[in-house]
Amino acid sequence: MKRSLLVMYVLLITSFLTVGILAAEDTGKMVTATGKVTSVDPEGKAITISVKTGSSEMMDVGTIVNADTKVKAKGKPVALNDIKEGDTVTTRYLKSDNLYAKEVTKK
């Protein structure tokens, strides 16, 4: 009886840990999105792009731009205020509670 309770307890803990690890992997995933810039806030350090999600559906993706974010145009470093509404950009960001851009590249 004690042995079966111990086995059940170990299995239960293992399942909780596995679910937690899987959730953490999804949260810390790098994501790439390409679309047209709908807004740039150089003061607040944010950029929002409109991304096509389906045949005709669009979704806005906003990311936070910080000192670690690499902003480029035609392969060369630029300031965030060099990116304008209507530009097509590709953003790579870390999927977490907040979306922190690692790279913003203007096409």
Cβ contact 16:22 at 8 Å = no
Alpha helices in 28-95 (DSSP H): none
Q: What pLDDT score does 29 carry?
A: 79
- Which pair of structure tokens corresponds to residue 17? 């840990």
User: Mean of the per-residue pLDDT values for the chain?
Assistant: 78
Alpha helices in the chain (DSSP H): 2-27
Instruction: Identify which of 23-32, 51-60, 84-93 has the greatest average pLDDT.
Output: 84-93
pTM reported for the whole predicted model: 0.69
With H, G, I as helix, E, B as strand and everything else as coil, classify residue 84: coil
The per-residue pLDDT for range 32-41, each reduced to its tens digit, is 889 999 999 8
- List the CATH code of the domain at 30-106: 2.40.50.320
The confidence band for 27, taking pLDDT boundaries of 50, 70 and 90, is low
The span from the CA of 77 to the CA of 73, in Å, is 6
The per-residue pLDDT for range 43-75, each reduced to its tens digit, is 868 999 999 887 788 888 888 888 889 999 998
Alpha helices in 35-103 (DSSP H): none
